[in-house]
Amino acid sequence: MNKDKAIGVRLENLAKAFPVYGKNEEFFAVDHINLEVPAGAMVTLLGPSGCGKTTILRMLAGFEIPTAGNIYIGDKEVSHIPPNKRNVGMMFQSYALFPHMSVHENIAYGLRLKKLPEEEIKDRVSSVMSLMQIQEFGRRMPNQLSGGQQQRVALARAVVTEPLILLFDEPLSNLDAKLREYMRDELRNIQQRVGITSLYVTHDQVEAMAISDHVVIMNEGKIEQTGTATTIYNDPDNAFVADFMGSANFVTAEIIKKGKTTWKAKVLGEELDLPVPRLSEGVSEFVCMLRPEATSIDKKEGDLTATVISYTYLGQVIEYELEVSNERIKMIDYRYREHGLFEEHTVIKLTLLKNSLRLLPKVD
Amino acid sequence: MLISQPGLFLTIIGTLFILIYFCLYPIYKVLMTTMVDQNGNFSMDTARSAVTSLHFMSSLINSIVMGCIVAVTATMVGFLFAFTITRTNIKFKKFFHTIALLPILSPPFVIALAIIILFGRSGVITRQILGIENNNVYGLTSMVVDQTLALFPLAYLNLRGLLEAIDGSVENASRSLGASRWQVFKSVTFPLTIPGILSSFLIVFAKSISDFGTPQVLGGDYNVLATQAYLQITGLYNLNTGAFMALSILVPAMLAFFIQKYWVARRSFVTVTGKPVGGYILIEEKHITRPLFALCTFVTLIILMFYGTVVWISFVKTWGVNMQFSLTNYIYAFQRGKKPIQDTLILSLICAPITAIFGLIIAYLLVRKEFFGKKLMEFATLIPFAVPGIVLGIGYIFAFNTGPIVLTGTGFIIVVALMFRNLPIGVETGTNSLRQIDPAIEEASTILGANNYKTFTKISLPLMKSALFSGLLNAFVRAMTSISAIIFLISVRWKLLTVSILSEVEQSSFGRACAFCVILMVIVLIAFQVLDLLMNRIDKRSFGRGHIDE
């Protein structure tokens, strides 16, 4: 497979409702969403558990029938095609390797179902096995493999049939932290090499940022924001996205003047010119997002005066809780080795990295 | 969803149809027969004449009294075994476990026979050792002993599963908070097993009042409903009254069964998944383990004594007259009893695989698929198991005597009766084993292009291999040893071993009866071994290392 053959995915007004147990009503796990996945791209659906991301994936796979809307793989509407006829590859959270088959048989399974000649099956299995670097495990049973190896077998099994798209259902969540990081890069690598359009579901924001071309942030069945990792992290549309991607302080922003290119606002007692918020229509009150790492502190030098409330020593960094003009904020100090640790109640100076401040609609 | 999968749709419709026709329809026929007069009008005459007959009320009370006593004793013995095996460090656990399973795997008359031989009028113990003349062994006491030993395995298995499912850290927490062994038992272990104790009680109760073989052989003057119903039908040719009496067992039996299934089970604090949780610190204190060990040994010795007696008597020339070693009984059994042995084997061999596979298919549909009529399917599979065997038997006579399918007198009706009677066990084993298989494994197969049939045969079935094995074995053993469901269905053309045993017992030919029992047990043992071997073979074939050379 190569990138020219890759085709995109389009979700149109897609919805899935489940009956609420014991009540005569429905609950929309996926609430009429629209999404376009470009051909060959790796797109991550990111959100807290219960946000509907897995339901979308299962609808794409064909395990759930949409309540409303359309799913297009390429130009073809597929929502009523059964899963075994869809030609979609999927990697499961639990890997779902067939425990009674060897690695080789696991990978060959889909090809055998297609009734391909044994010779071709052999060739394709061995070439995908060398791509995944699992050549030597062909005769092993799944329970004789480590987590990372099982992962590769699962991926090999999913791609060997050359599916139109590839779905990943939190495939890294069963690995320990070190291996997870390693496999994350591997997955990205292989996806790039195979060039197959992929949808990836996770609740881990770091994983999402590292692995994907586009991140789709979901909450309560709806899409909150779609964009590249940098856009979403630096220019979130709302407080939910800001808070879900990393951590953020939200401090009161008193709007003084709404200009064309910038707005003047009073933040933590300082008057600042900030970028115009993207979603401002009908919003009367705003907050200012302040990333904890977009600040610095010092004993004497700085714009604002702050008092240390508490601190947590984390080795690489120190996390402080500060009080600045009657507001509590979190900040992360990367340079504590230079100026030492500030004890509780110490009065210090705080500087904000002004170009990373953003105005967001206030939510109650 | 179903419309797009015609194969699945047809399977579901077909299964539902079969279940309704063979599980619900016969019971409905019994109900109708007892409530309708000759002209087909609703009438309580049958009921009225049955209730006012001499034996009905006393039999009903007798049945219930016996059921309650046995439920208590069998649950106690079952708990003793389950607790001792799961919570102490005694030796010979495996042995005790095997002994506790023996009564399930053996024909119904072994214990009854042994009781008569040991304690009867010319009993080995009563007459020859204690010198008591004319001891009357028949009656409630003997039946309680018999049923306790025959039914405690049910309680044992139920409670053992529950005790193993209790998270050991709960008991350990109680220990570390300062509780003594006794306090742990009293305040943690026992309260957590109460639902299990209740459900064991109800299961044993239902089985006890439905039991036909024991009262038929050991009942004497103690009349119970199951034997009275049999007498009405075969002795007095009073089909309707007999049916009504059988039906009167059905009500308390079904009640007990469904309370157990839908109420007690829901109250449980512990979810029995089938996988032992473990983590308990086993009881080592000698003052606790020794009495428990002694009690288990006592029960074990009684069981062994009874089984030993049957084996011994089968090799004796004429019991009570000439006690010399002889093969007379076996020679008789293989000459005159050749046909029942053959017939039983043939019917059971046909029955077992169909029961096991059909059970797994139903389990698969119930666990993995959503469809209209699922509750009905679940209910229908339970019915033939929950109703007393003789009710099912009577139902099959009523249902298949006339009408579109006439089966009475054929071997087929016996196979069908046995199959549906034992189907729930196959479904249950299949359900438990499926719940332990990650559904994603089947989804993985589907998304790789397999249809439902391929996924079932290539993935689910191989993974349910051990369930298939126990389903096959169970179905075979139960087909070989059942009596109550088929007592009305036998004919001149098809004779069954259990019926032969019963008629030998009724003619007081105990030696021959014992020989038949031993033959039956040997067949079951051989079946066990063969299946074991077969399964290991299949194991190597389908679980072997890839057949393609890389």
Of the candidates B5, B448, B462, which has its C-beta nearest A100's C-beta? B462
The 10s digit of each residue's pLDDT in B124-146 is 777 777 777 777 888 899 999 99
CB < 8 Å to A94, chain B: 438, 440-441
My answer on whether B242 and B101 are in the same domain is: yes
My answer on whether B395 and B533 are in the same domain is: yes
My answer on whether B466 and B519 are in the same domain is: yes
Q: Check: CB of residue B20 under 8 Å from CB of residue B384.
A: no
Q: State which H helix or E strand residue A273 sits in.
A: strand A270-275
My answer on whether B276 and B367 are in the same domain is: no
Q: Tell which residue, B539, B546, B438, has the closest CA to residue A103.
A: B546
Do B438 and A94 count as a contact with CB atoms less than 8 A apart? Answer: yes
Do B1 and A65 count as a contact with CB atoms less than 8 A apart? Answer: yes
Q: Check: CB of residue A164 under 8 Å from CB of residue A74.
A: yes
The 10s digit of each residue's pLDDT in B154-213 is 899 889 888 888 877 788 888 878 788 888 888 888 888 888 888 889 889 988 988 888
Q: Supply the range of the domain harboring residue B102.
A: 44-314
Q: How many CB atoms sit inside 10 A of residue B531's CB?
A: 17
Residue-averaged pLDDT of chain B? 83
| Confidence label for B267 from pLDDT (cuts 50, 70 and 90) | low
CA distance A290 to A325: 15
The 10s digit of each residue's pLDDT in B280-325 is 778 888 888 899 999 999 999 999 999 999 999 889 887 777 778 8
Most distant CA atoms of chain A, gap in Å: 77
My answer on whether B454 and B518 are in the same domain is: yes
For residue B5, being part of any structural domain is answered with: no
Q: What is the pLDDT of residue B265?
A: 65
For residue B31, being part of any structural domain is answered with: no
Provide the strand spans (E) within B330-445.
Answer: none
Burial A276-315 (b: 16+ CB within 10 A, else e): ebeeeeeeeebbbbbbbbbbbbeeeebebebebeebeeee
CATH 2.40.50.140 fits A247-361, yes or no: yes
For residue B284, being part of any structural domain is answered with: yes
Q: Which is more confidently placed, B29 or A308?
A: A308
For residue B459, being part of any structural domain is answered with: yes
Distance from CA of A272 to the nearest CA of B (A): 53
CA distance B464 to B479: 22
CATH (domain of B115): 1.10.3720.10
**Residue in chain B lying closest to A155 (CA):** B444
My answer on whether B309 and B341 are in the same domain is: no
For residue A200, what are the CA distances in angstroms to A58, A207, A228, B23?
A: 12, 10, 14, 48
Question: Is residue B269's pLDDT more than 70?
Answer: no
Question: Is residue B247's pLDDT more than 90?
Answer: no
Number of domains in chain B: 2
My answer on whether B352 and B266 are in the same domain is: no
The 10s digit of each residue's pLDDT in B59-84 is 889 999 999 999 999 999 999 999 99
Q: What is the pLDDT of residue A10?
A: 95
CA distance A297 to A351: 6
The 10s digit of each residue's pLDDT in B414-466 is 888 999 988 888 888 888 888 888 889 999 999 999 988 899 889 988 888 87
My answer on whether B214 and B87 are in the same domain is: yes
CB half-sphere exposure, A337, CA atoms < 13 A: 5
All residue ranges of chain A with pLDDT < 70 are 1-4, 364
The 10s digit of each residue's pLDDT in B97-109 is 988 888 887 877 8
For residue B223, being part of any structural domain is answered with: yes
Do B441 and A96 count as a contact with CB atoms less than 8 A apart? Answer: yes
B460/A contact by beta carbon, under 8 A: no
Q: Which is more confidently placed, B270 or B206?
A: B206
CB < 8 Å to B456, chain A: none
For residue B324, being part of any structural domain is answered with: no
* SS3 assignment for B15-37: HHHHHHHHHHHHHHHHHHHHHEC
My answer on whether B275 and B337 are in the same domain is: no
My answer on whether B473 and B339 are in the same domain is: yes
Q: Check: CB of residue B550 under 8 Å from CB of residue A139.
A: yes
For residue B91, being part of any structural domain is answered with: yes
Chain B interface disruption, residue of A16, A57, A88, A102, most B CBs within 10 A: A102
Distance from CA of A317 to the nearest CA of B (A): 38
Q: What is the pLDDT of residue B278?
A: 61
The 10s digit of each residue's pLDDT in B490-501 is 877 888 888 888
CB pairs under 8 A between A and B: 97
Q: What is the pLDDT of residue B2?
A: 55
CA distance B140 to B148: 12
Q: Percentage of residues in chain B with pLDDT exceeding 70?
A: 92
Q: What is the pLDDT of residue A269?
A: 85
CB < 8 Å to A121, chain B: 548
| Confidence label for B550 from pLDDT (cuts 50, 70 and 90) | very low
A3-234 CATH, one of 3.40.50.1100, 3.40.50.1260, 3.20.20.370, 3.40.50.300: 3.40.50.300
Of B281, B314, B347, the residue at which a domain comes to its end is B314
ipTM over 0.85: no
Match 């995908």 to its residue by tokens: A128
| Confidence label for B54 from pLDDT (cuts 50, 70 and 90) | low
pLDDT (mean) for B11-33: 88
B441/A contact by beta carbon, under 8 A: yes
| Domain coordinates in residue numbering, chain A | 3-234, 247-361
